[in-house]
């Protein structure tokens, strides 16, 4: 059994990006799939805020922020150089893109997705606010198939689960929206082996009581993800 435990919810974009980081770092964890309406007591004891993902290390250390989980995983192993440690300018760009995604774009995404809970504006108004970030990504993708050019980076894996969610709020609108580069980028990532690997559907841990071993497969880290 692995000595690290990950509590996750398959469809949560924060949990998705944590699993992507773990998978790409080829780390091995015991994955415990939960449902948000019935959270395990062991998870709540470790992280009382009750959100996923939650990572518990062998020494009992709890990491309950998705970016911190990715950071931990890539500190163990970063075979694709996702962090661009030797390129300060690219590191700064990664940080800027993720900051805008998490702090500016995500609140509008939530209001767009659940517009009936936010009647102050129409869904289209919230979508328009979110499009400012989509437009930035469209411009950024002029440099190559990924946000930093020819190779996958931390920015791609940290951001695309949220763009996936944005696109699926109104898929017919998204498919005709004036963001061809972002649409192509998103679809390529959704079709990737890494995304298929982290989206395998497991029974919930409380129901099954079975351990699920989750790990990255180095044989899948081919030029398709590089």
Rounded CA separation 115/147 (Å): 29
Rounded CA separation 89/108 (Å): 28
The enclosing domain of 154 has a CATH number of: 1.20.1050.10
Q: Contact, 55 vs 29, CB < 8 A?
A: yes
Any residues with CB less than 8 A from the CB of 219 and at least 6 apart, and which? none
Judge if 169 and 210 occupy the same domain: no
Judge if 186 and 95 occupy the same domain: yes
Judge if 58 and 141 occupy the same domain: no
Domain assignment present for residue 126? The answer is yes
Domain assignment present for residue 226? The answer is no
Judge if 186 and 208 occupy the same domain: no
Averaged pLDDT of the chain: 94
| Stated pTM of the model | 0.94
Rounded CA separation 100/159 (Å): 10
State the total domains in the chain.
Answer: 2
Judge if 15 and 66 occupy the same domain: yes
Closest CA to 154 of 50, 216, 69: 69
Looking at residue 225, its pLDDT comes to 42
Does the pLDDT at position 33 exceed 80?
yes
Looking at residue 218, its pLDDT comes to 63
Question: pLDDT tens digits, residue range 70-127?
Answer: 999 999 999 999 999 999 999 999 999 999 999 999 999 999 999 999 999 999 999 9
Question: pLDDT tens digits, residue range 156-205?
Answer: 999 999 999 999 999 999 999 999 999 999 999 999 999 999 999 999 99
Judge if 52 and 92 occupy the same domain: no
Question: pLDDT tens digits, residue range 199-226?
Answer: 999 999 998 888 799 998 766 554 344 3
Domain that residue 110 falls in: 88-193
Judge if 106 and 181 occupy the same domain: yes
Judge if 160 and 172 occupy the same domain: yes
Judge if 181 and 210 occupy the same domain: no
């Amino acid at each position: 059994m692995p000595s690290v435990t990950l509590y996750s919810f398959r469809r949560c974009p924060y949990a998705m990006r944590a699993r992507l980081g773990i998978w790409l770092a080829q780390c091995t964890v015991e994955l415990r799939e939960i449902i948000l309406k019935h959270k395990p007591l062991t998870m709540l004891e470790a992280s009382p805020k009750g959100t996923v993902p939650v990572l518990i290390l062998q020494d009992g250390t709890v990491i309950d922020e998705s970016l911190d989980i990715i950071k931990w995983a890539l500190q163990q192993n970063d075979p694709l150089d996702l962090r661009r440690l030797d390129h300060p300018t690219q590191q700064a760009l990664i940080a800027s893109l993720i900051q805008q995604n998490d702090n500016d774009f995500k609140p509008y995404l939530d209001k767009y997705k659940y517009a009936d809970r936010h009647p102050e504006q129409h869904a289209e108004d919230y979508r328009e606010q979110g499009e400012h970030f989509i437009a930035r990504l469209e411009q950024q993708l002029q440099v190559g198939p990924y946000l930093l050019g020819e190779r996958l980076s931390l920015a791609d894996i940290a951001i695309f689960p949220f763009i996936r969610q944005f696109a699926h709020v109104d898929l017919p609108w998204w498919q005709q929206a004036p963001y061809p580069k972002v649409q192509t980028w998103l679809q390529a990532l959704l079709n990737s082996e890494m995304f298929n690997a982290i989206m395998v559907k497991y029974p919930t841990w409380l129901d099954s009581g079975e351990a699920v071993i989750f790990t990255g497969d180095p044989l899948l880290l081919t030029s398709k993800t590089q």
